[in-house]
Structure 1
Amino acid sequence: MASGFSVEPNVALRRLGSLVLVFALIGGLPIFARIIGAQFLPSTAWVSHSVWLAWGSGIFCAVFFTVMFMRNKPLVEPDMRPFMYILLIIFSPIFFGSLGKDAIVAGAPMLYTMVAGKPTELQYVVERATGFSDRKCRNDIELMDMPSMYDRLCGFPKDFRDSLRPGQTLIVSGHGSSLGTFVTSAHVAGQ
């Protein structure tokens, strides 16, 4: 006896899932670049113009992956403890939301810069140039009006960092575009 429900997989949902997965992969590119030692900064103009698109992408990815996870998993599985299930439900929106947001803020500009980039200079304003150095970011220089993960310059000499003051404008050079740059050097504007 035939039922009124389709047994075929939902093609539109699968295509939407593939699109969201592409967004998550693009959002992971800046993280991968940082792991291999490349430092990419999106431009301040791109960050300010794309803020709502980035938040929308982040929220969409967070909701989509969480709903798909909950839809495909029974509430209690023999091999999954309830505590782990609750942790996955709590942290999957945070994880996939940040990947979706990063896809717009830095991933797409990074891809564009890799393909169409040329030697370029972008301006950033110093927020703070003091603090502790760590393994992840040696002699960090914090930048104003930039999203977290993309608000620091790392690896510059301590003398250079110590000479900077809040509010100074830095000219950051590297392989880039109007959307961002792979940082190779920096100097204070007007010097």
Structure 2
Amino acid sequence: MADLVGEEVKRPLGTIPRVLTTVWIFLGLGLPPSLLKSLGYQYLPSIEWLARPTVPALVVGVASGGLFLWLVHRDMRGFRGRGKTKALCILGAFVLGYLTGRHIVVFNGPMILALIGGHRIELSYTVADADGDSFTGCRIPLELEALPLAYRAICGVSEDFRRSVGPGARIIVSGRGTDFGVFADSLRRP
């Protein structure tokens, strides 16, 4: 104990900031959509919503990136790695923070709105592939165009419906949602 007199005690990132950062990453990296999909709820974001350049997504992304940057920089004060390693860690923290914050605004925010305040809605999508093979967690998929990978496939589509549509075909997805996205429960041709 006497050796610490006059020395600054290095404190690692506290428990509460670590928990909050973990929750923010959990929400931002799409775990809720994949969890809901595994439970049988398929959320599809609206093509129109994804096409809009959203200022809130940019602002929250940059703020989240800045927060991650600060947290990593704060913890790296005693790090004895090379300059390139530090720079890569700091850049990676900003990018991870930005993508996490942006994902929360673009995908998870509208998903929560659809859960809480959604109503019966129909949204239009274009089929990318109707003959795709099943993959982990998704039997008999119908793939849609212009959607990010995590949201691209609707699972459990009947073989008859898949045969009736092909690449480029328009379909109507209906379910509970908002103009920002829908929890799909039925498909039909227009």
TM-score normalised by L of structure 1: 0.69
Structure 2 CA distance for partners of 1:163 and 1:48, relative to 1, 3 Å: same
- Report how many aligned residue pairs link the two structures: 168
**C-alpha distance in 2 between matches for 1:95 and 1:33:** 23
How many Å apart are 1:184 and its aligned residue? Answer: 0.8
Counterpart CA distance in 2 for 1:21 and 1:36 is 23
Whole-angstrom CA distance in 2 between matches of 1:90 and 1:162: 47
Provide the rounded CA distance (Å) in 2 between the counterparts of 1:170 and 1:182: 15
Instruction: Quote the Cα distance in structure 1 between the aligned partners of 2:94 and 2:153.
Output: 25
| RMSD (Å), alpha carbons | 3.4
Deviations 1:63-105 (A, max 9, x none): 421331231244438xxxxxx9899667545544332222122
Gaps of 5+ in 1: 1-13, 78-83
Instruction: Name the aligned partner's letter for residue 48 of structure 1.
Output: A
For 2:130, the aligned partner's letter is: A
What is the percentage of aligned positions where both structures have the same residue? Answer: 30
The one-letter code of the counterpart of 2:159 is K
Deviations 1:142-181 (A, max 9, x none): 2222233222212212332233212211110111111111
CA distance in 2, matches of 1:55, 1:128: 32
Any idea what SS the aligned residue of 2:183 has? strand
CA distance in 2, matches of 1:38, 1:87: 38
Residue in 1 that maps onto 2:151: 150
Q: Distance in 2 between matches of 1:176 and 1:55?
A: 24
- TM-superposed CA distance for 1:122, in Å, is 0.9
Distance 1:63 1:160 in 2: 47
Instruction: Name the counterpart of 2:164.
Output: 163
Distance 1:102 1:138 in 2: 26
- Look up the match of 1:7: none
Distance 1:91 1:118 in 2: 39
SS at match of 1:149: helix
Query: For residues 40-189 of structure 1, what are the structure 2 equivalents within 5 Å?
Result: 40-51=43-54, 53-76=56-79, 92-93=93-94, 95-189=96-190
In 2: Cα distance, 1:151 partner to 1:177 partner = 18
Q: TM-score, normalised on structure 2?
A: 0.69
Shift of 1:56: 4.8
